[in-house]
């Protein structure tokens, strides 16, 4: 058994939506470190280009808004002018919306569900041809959806559409996996917990406080996220299909609930 190449991404081509910051950037840096050529996508050209410069010559910035089906198809068309295949697609771009139940409106619902749930499906559909060209039974192409522990458990905030979109994406991951495996494309997901980012301001600004509720006693690091994504993207994860890997320090699966004192 030769284990030296299990986590190599040498020669692979990856595309990461929302790759200019936060979890997307963590994954991009990890992939590049393992030898991949990485395209990062953002609505904001300046942010995307700045990140690409920081991550080096193997990182290429593409400006696209993938919140619409047209935007997804436009991105796929542009990528096809640069590459004849796509080995790894990471559907990471996402947004959140928190408003009290009585005030929650259609705009907040549609904004979140369109980007978090609809776009991963239609972008994968638009990239299907490039992914099929890359995949084989010996080396499948990979689609990695970034879901959330908020699709597995409740948080205390009024983020109704976020909860729904992430729970839906976890199940959509399974359904897409069942279809795309026949084309040698493995679909999986990562459900992050507390990682410092613009979206997770609590972890970013109050990490020590947030860590008190996490069994591992800390929030996630860049390396924690990169490691999970590299595993799924590389040879090491070739036999993982339809699975959601929870990266949260034990909050979902190892946190004890509170109980009523039996003496009361």
Active site residues: 162
Degrees to nearest 5, angle at CA 189 with 86 and 160: 125
* Phi and psi, residue 243, nearest 5°: -85, 150
Greatest alpha-carbon pair distance for the chain in Å reads 70
Residues 67, 61: Cα–Cα separation, whole Å: 18
Both tokens of 66, joined, read: 């993938």
Dist. CA 206–CA 196, nearest whole Å:
9
Alpha carbon 181 to its chain's center = 19
The residues with which 246 forms a beta bridge, in sequence order, are 191
Strand, helix or coil at 93? coil
- Produce one character per residue of 199-210: b if its CB has 16 or more CB atoms within 10 Å, e if not: bbeebbeebeeb
Residue with the two structure tokens 């992939």: 31
Do the beta carbons of residue 243 and residue 143 sit within 8 Å? no
Among residues 37, 16, 64, 27, the alpha carbon closest in space to that of 197 is found at 27
**Residue ranges in 90-127 assigned as alpha helix (H):** 106-113, 119-126
- Structure token digits, residue 190: 């990562």
């Amino acid at each position: 058994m030769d284990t030296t190449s299990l986590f190599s991404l040498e020669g692979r081509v990856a595309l990461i939506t929302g790759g200019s910051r936060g979890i997307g950037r963590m994954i991009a840096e990890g992939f590049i470190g393992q030898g991949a050529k990485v395209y990062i996508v953002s609505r904001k050209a300046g942010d995307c280009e700045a990140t690409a410069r920081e991550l080096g010559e193997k990182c290429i910035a593409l400006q696209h808004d993938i919140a619409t089906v047209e935007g997804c198809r436009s991105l796929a068309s542009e990528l096809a002018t640069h590459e004849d295949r796509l080995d790894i697609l990471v559907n990471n771009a996402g947004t959140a919306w928190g408003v009290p139940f009585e005030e929650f409106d259609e705009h907040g619902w549609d904004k979140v569900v369109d980007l978090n749930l609809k776009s991963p499906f239609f972008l994968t559909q638009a990239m299907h041809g490039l992914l099929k060209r890359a995949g084989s039974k010996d080396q499948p192409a990979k689609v990695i959806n970034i879901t959330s522990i908020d699709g597995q458990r409740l948080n205390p905030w009024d983020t109704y559409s976020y909860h729904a979109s992430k729970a839906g994406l976890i199940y959509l991951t399974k359904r897409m996996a069942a279809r795309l495996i026949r084309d040698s494309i493995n679909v999986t997901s990562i459900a992050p917990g507390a990682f410092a980012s613009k979206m997770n301001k609590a972890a970013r600004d109050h990490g020590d406080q947030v860590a008190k509720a996490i069994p591992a006693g800390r929030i996630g690091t860049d390396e924690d996220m990169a490691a999970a994504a590299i595993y799924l993207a590389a040879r090491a994860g070739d036999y993982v299909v339809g699975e959601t890997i929870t990266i949260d320090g034990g909050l979902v699966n190892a946190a004890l609930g509170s109980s009523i004192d039996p003496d009361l």
